[in-house]
Each structure stands twice: as C-alpha cells, then as structure tokens.
Amino acid sequence: MSSNSKIGILFGQENTFPQAFVDRVNEKQSQFLAEFVSIDQVEQSVPTDYAVIIDRISQDVPFYKAFLKNAALTGTAVVNNPFWWSADEKFFNNALAVQLGVPVPKTILLPSKDQPDDTSHNSFRNLKHMNWDGIFNHIGFPAFMKPHSGGGWKSVYKVDNPDQMFRAYDETGQLVMLYQEAIDFTDYVRCYCIGGKDVLIMPYEPRNPHHLRYASELKVTGDAGKKLLATIKDYVLKLNHGLGYDFNTVEFAVRDGIPIAIDFCNPAPDADVHSVGQANFDWVVEAAANMAIDRAKKARKGQDNLTWGTFVRNSVASQAPAPEKEAKAPKAEKELTSEKAPKAEKVKEDAKAEKPKKSKK
C-alpha cells in the first residue's frame, strides 16, 4: 500500500474505544483502511503509511511522541498536534482562556516544592520569596492545588486553610502546581469537542464514585438551561479553536449560572464505554470516525496537515513580513517544507489516564 493511505489509532491500555473507532471508520468508507498503528523501524524523514493517526497515548510514551512528530513532518495528520501538545499545559490554558473571554477560577502558578534534579539554590536566584498571605487572600479558601501539567486526578488537593495547603504542597515534590479558587458549583459538565466543531455536553458529578459520575442530570432547566448549554458550547469551541485541539474534553463548574472552565487540557480524554456510558461512547466513536475520514480526505501529501490553534497562527501571522508589492526578486519558498488539624483532602485518582484574538479586557 502506498504511503499516507491509511487511518491509524495509537493507544495504550484502553480496550473499548480503539476497536470501535477502527470498525466504524471501515464501515463508513473503504478509501482509507483503518487499523491499529503498527510501528516498525522509525527513521528520520521517512513517511508512514498513515494519512491520519489518532494519538491516545504519546503523553505516556515519549518514543511515540518523537515518532509522531516525524510522521507529522512527512505528511501524516496527527490528532492531536504532537508539537502543540508537548508545549501546552494547564496554566497557559487558563491564561489563554482569560484572553479569550472564557471564565476560569482565579489561579496562581507555584514553583515546585522540591528543586528539580541537578539544580541548586543558585538556579532560583531570580525567584523572590512567596508572599503566601497575599496568595491566600487573593485565592481564598477552599482552594484546589493541582499539577500544571497532568491528568487523571493525580496529585489534586482540596485545601481549607494554610496549614492544609502547606502540608499538601510538601507532598508534591518536583511538580509545578496550580493554586486556584475552588468553585462551589450547582452543575458540572464535561464536554467532548471533536474536529473543532462537534460538541457533546455531558452532565457529570465529580463527587460521585467513578462509575456513577456520568449518571447525572443538569439541575438548571427550561430557558435558563438552554442558555447555559449555548454558552457552554460557545466556550468549548472558543477554547479548542484557540488551543488547536482536534480531540479534547473541557470541564465546567457552573456557579451563579456562569460556566467556569476547570480542566481543558485533555488531549487523550477518557473514552471508555464503561466510564462514559454507551450513548456518550457511540457519539464519540461516530464523531471521531467522521473527523478522521475528513482529515484523511483533506490531507496534502508530504505537507503539514496538523491543526494549529489561533494562538499559534496569529503569532506566526503577526511576524510574517508584509507582502511585497512587486515580485522582482525570486519568491521565497513558502513551503516549510501537623498538628492535629485534618489533612488536605487528596482527591481520589481517576481510573483512567487520561492566539487567540485578543479578547476584550
């Protein structure tokens, strides 16, 4: 088979989504054979057989991330963009959300409690002492502390006072942490966004045990409910267009009728039928199959077929030289080519791993 003619899925421990995705793509068309990605020898600048690869695992396997960048350079549309995914993290996401006009909790970035390997106190000479009183006053209590880059509810803490916060911080080692306002919510939703256009809003109750989190309904109903859903959809699209994700989930906590984005850096979101439920699963399989087929059809051989968010596109565009009036010189090639106080609550880990336009100020 010639290069770039298949649709592949690269995955780890998950068992239900990959096979359902492959089966659905093959049911829907026969131009691009869908299969589990098969990797043999990875050689620089040698194209793969895949027009599209859905990546569900490279966050845990650096070898795959390097393989995918090479694949992207040689024409494969990798979902999600491996370059952007490597660069992105939750603190940047929050900052971008502010600029996009999407509400997020008040958030501060904390330096890691422990020094990274091979550094000394000299490596931190640019860093002033933390003004903890100022931070506690600004964020308030309760507060959440969680890794700036992470997922699966790992090392997520809810703290009620400074003492709990410091004890939790002591446990975080070399992790860079976000410290943020806890949103006391009436509704909570988790939303898939696929292909930058298909949005599924799933009521979600994070306080339920894992297997019952999706067994939830929106409390707000009627016109207020419709308006809320429309706002959520708008925010989901704004965030994913800004960041450039093809396959992502966004969580919102709703406070006083306002959806506040909590977690929207999930480029390999849980899509297991046993956790999301059959109806949500079927939606994801269908939307992912449609997106992959569409991307395979649009892929241009040997070119960059990745999605880049408006943040990156606008940054690059703003640096492009102004177009020359007369093309006398040969044109540049365009191609790129404790004490006894209760301990902080460590939120239970999930079973699954998982520029914008300048906004109005």
Ligand X SMILES: Nc1ncnc2c1ncn2[C@@H]1O[C@H](COP(=O)(O)OP(=O)(O)O)[C@@H](O)[C@H]1O
The residues binding ligand X (CB under 6 A) are 105, 144, 146, 150-154, 156, 180-183, 206, 251, 253, 262-263, 347
Residue placing its CB nearer to Mg ion in the complex, 181 or 263 = 263
Smallest gap from residue 252 Cβ to ligand X (A)? 10
150 contacts which partner out of Mg ion, ligand X, none, CB within 5 to 8 A by kind?
A: ligand X
First to last CA, the chain: 53
Task: Choose the one of ligand X, Mg ion, none that binds residue 246, judging by a C-beta under 5 to 8 angstroms depending on kind.
Answer: none
Shortest CA distance to 105 belongs to which of 218, 231, 261?
A: 261
Which residues does 233 contact at the CB level (< 8 Å), separation at least 6? 191, 199, 201
Least distance to Mg ion, CB of residue 146, Å = 9
The item of Mg ion, ligand X, none sharing an interface with residue 206, based on CB under 5 to 8 Å by kind, is ligand X
Question: Rounded to whole angstroms, what are the CA distances from 223 to 226, 228, 229, 231, 256?
Answer: 5, 8, 10, 12, 15
Question: How far is the C-alpha of 65 from the C-alpha of 58, rounded, in Å?
Answer: 5
Residues of this chain that interact with Mg ion (CB under 5 A) are 263
Shortest distance, CB of residue 81 to ligand X, whole angstroms? 19
Closest separation in Å from C-beta 13 to ligand X = 17
Considering the complex, what minimum distance in angstroms separates the CB of residue 236 from ligand X? 15
Contact between 49 and 6 under an 8 Å Cβ cutoff? The reply is yes
CB closer to ligand X out of 18 and 147? 147
In the complex, minimum distance from the CB of residue 251 to Mg ion, in angstroms, rounded to a whole number: 5
Q: How far is the CB of 33 from Mg ion (least distance, A)?
A: 34
Distance of alpha carbon 156 from alpha carbon 44, whole angstroms: 39
Residues 243-267: b if buried by 16+ CB within 10 A, e if exposed: bbbbbbbbbbbbeeeebbbbbbbbb
The Cα diameter of the chain in Å comes to 78
Query: How far apart, in whole angstroms, are the C-alpha atoms of residue 180 and residue 105?
Result: 6
Would you say 107 or 310 has its CB closer to Mg ion? 107
- Our CB check for ligand X shows the closer of 70 and 93 to be 93
Strand partners, 223: none
Residue closer to ligand X (CB basis): 6 or 146: 146
Question: CA-CA distance, 174 to 165, in Å (whole number)?
Answer: 16
- Residue 154 CA: distances (Å) to CA of 32, 159, 175: 38, 15, 11
Nearest distance from residue 206's CB to ligand X, in Å? 3
Residue nearest to Mg ion (CB): 263
Nearer to ligand X, 11 or 179 (CB): 179
C-alpha closest to that of 203 among 145, 123, 279, 149: 279
Closer CB to ligand X, 79 or 177, in the complex: 177
Nearer to ligand X, 202 or 262 (CB): 262
Residue 293 binding target from ligand X, Mg ion, none, CB below 5 to 8 Å by type: none
